[in-house]
Amino acid sequence: MKNVLITGGAGFIAHHIIAHIIKHTDWKITTIDRLDISGNLNRLHDILKDFSVSEKKRLKVVFHDLKAEINSQIESEVGKPDIILHLAAASHVDRSIKYPMEFVNDNVVGTVNLLNFAKELKNLEKFVYFSTDEIFGNAPEGVSYKEYDRYNSTNPYSASKAAAEEFCVAYENTYKMPIYITHTMNVFGERQHPEKFIPMVIQKVRDNKKVIVHANEDKTKAGSRHYIHAQDVADGLMFILGLKNYTHKGDFGNARCPKFNLVGPEEIDNLTLAQMIAKTQNKDLIYELVDNHSSRPGHDLRYSLSPKLLQDLGWKPKIKLSQRIEEFVKWSLKNNRWLLEN
């Protein structure tokens, strides 16, 4: 039995990981969360309903804001985890443009505080930092960024995540910590924030309202992404945790910190995706293409990460994107309150 510390456990991606760990392992989980707009205890309440009393007891929730150092009281609550999964982050691009220092404190200072706690753990097996595709910026046509490509942050949020990622690499090299980094992008699934693109489209189509789809300047090509379901992220994470003595062959110099693009294998443009959602609801899509550059400062039209490394190692999502979308649309319409909550 392992002890796992998960930061941001009441958040969207992390609560899916918690459910996956409870279902597929005998591990004990402690989660740190400050329970703000991103952390919603109703998520944990929902997933725990499907587990037995003994399984529920394997999860412990500790209230703490990582902008503050992990003091002795929090240490006593957390114990000595074997694995740390760091998902807690401020992640709203528009808010980062307005309040950049808020994101430095949450994402950089918070990560360093956690690293300082982790480096004193003699039993630590892995520290996994969840980064983002946005650190690489806009992807030109035909380009899919690999794990060690250069950063090109286009907003303070992505810059803060890139900075925290570099601190992880520095701590790996300086203190010989067992740190892994994942880059995820456009994760969707049950109990997601309703403002995100897929739940937003589900709502708009349901209510026969217009869907705004961001496109290039002449409004002929919609933006595109590699979407992935949160349950597939959890499955991919467990695959990464199971890698033994992994060293990336393309490391530069003495850098040993393994990085993995944990993304969907297929790229899809947002108009095609919206049409897929409308079709699942047996409705026509009412939409308008708008210029992404003028309407969404700080946002990029196309993000693309290469899934090849994990595929070569033997992992890819087990369920096709089209099936995941159809299942999520039906779940959302049946669980309407998650389309209304923040």
As annotated, the active-site residues are 133-134, 157
Question: Which among 226, 207, 308, 318 is positioned nearest to 266, based on CA atoms?
Answer: 226
Find the DSSP H helices in the chain: 12-24, 41-48, 53-56, 72-78, 93-98, 100-103, 110-118, 156-175, 197-206, 230-241, 270-280, 292-295, 308-313, 321-334, 337-340
Q: How far apart are CA 205 and CA 126, in angstroms?
A: 43
The answer to whether 305 and 144 have CB atoms below 8 angstroms apart is yes
Helix, strand, coil proportions of the chain in percent (round to 5)?
40, 15, 40
Q: Are strands 187-188 and 179-184 parallel, antiparallel or unpaired?
A: unpaired
Which tokens sit at 176? 């010989």
- Could you give the 3-state DSSP secondary structure of residue 215? strand
